């Protein structure tokens, strides 16, 4: 069964790549690119986490854990 009108495809020039919702979320988080690290938590071994943002999120969840809070979490250490 077909409708009377087909949906037209919008052709928008110069739009470029549209970031995914996840990319937008991480961009709001202060990072313009997704940093794939696929690394476990260096403190407790949880994970692995695909991105540095997720690892940071894990540290955020462990805000009442002293070893996590004392750990100097740097992206550079995972690159
Ligand atoms: Zn951990």
SS3 22: helix
- Determine, yes or no, domain membership for 72: yes
Confirm if 53 and 29 have CB atoms less than 8 A apart.
yes
pTM summary value: 0.58
Confirm if 39 and 47 have CB atoms less than 8 A apart.
yes
- Determine, yes or no, domain membership for 24: no
Q: CB-based contacts of 26: which residues, under 8 Å, 6+ apart?
A: 34, 51, 53
User: Which one has a higher pLDDT value, 14 or 67?
Assistant: 67
CA of 75 relative to ligand 1 center, distance in Å: 15
> Which residues crowd ion ligand 1, with CB under 5 Å?
41, 43-44, 46
Residue 56 pLDDT level (bands cut at 50, 70, 90) = very high
- Determine, yes or no, domain membership for 5: no
- Determine, yes or no, domain membership for 11: no
- Determine, yes or no, domain membership for 23: no
Residue 33 pLDDT level (bands cut at 50, 70, 90) = confident
Provide the number of structural domains found in the chain: 1
Tell me the residue range of the domain where 43 lies: 36-78
Confirm if 52 and 77 have CB atoms less than 8 A apart.
no
CA of 62 relative to ligand 1 center, distance in Å: 7
Whether residue 46 has pLDDT greater than 70: yes
């Amino acid at each position: 069964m077909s409708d009377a009108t087909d949906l037209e495809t919008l052709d928008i020039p110069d739009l470029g790549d549209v970031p995914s919702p996840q990319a937008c979320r991480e961009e709001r988080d202060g990072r313009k690119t997704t940093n794939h690290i696929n690394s476990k938590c260096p403190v407790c071994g949880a994970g692995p986490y695909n991105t540095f943002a997720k690892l940071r999120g894990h540290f955020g969840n462990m805000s009442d854990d002293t070893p996590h809070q004392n750990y100097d979490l740097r992206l550079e250490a995972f690159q």
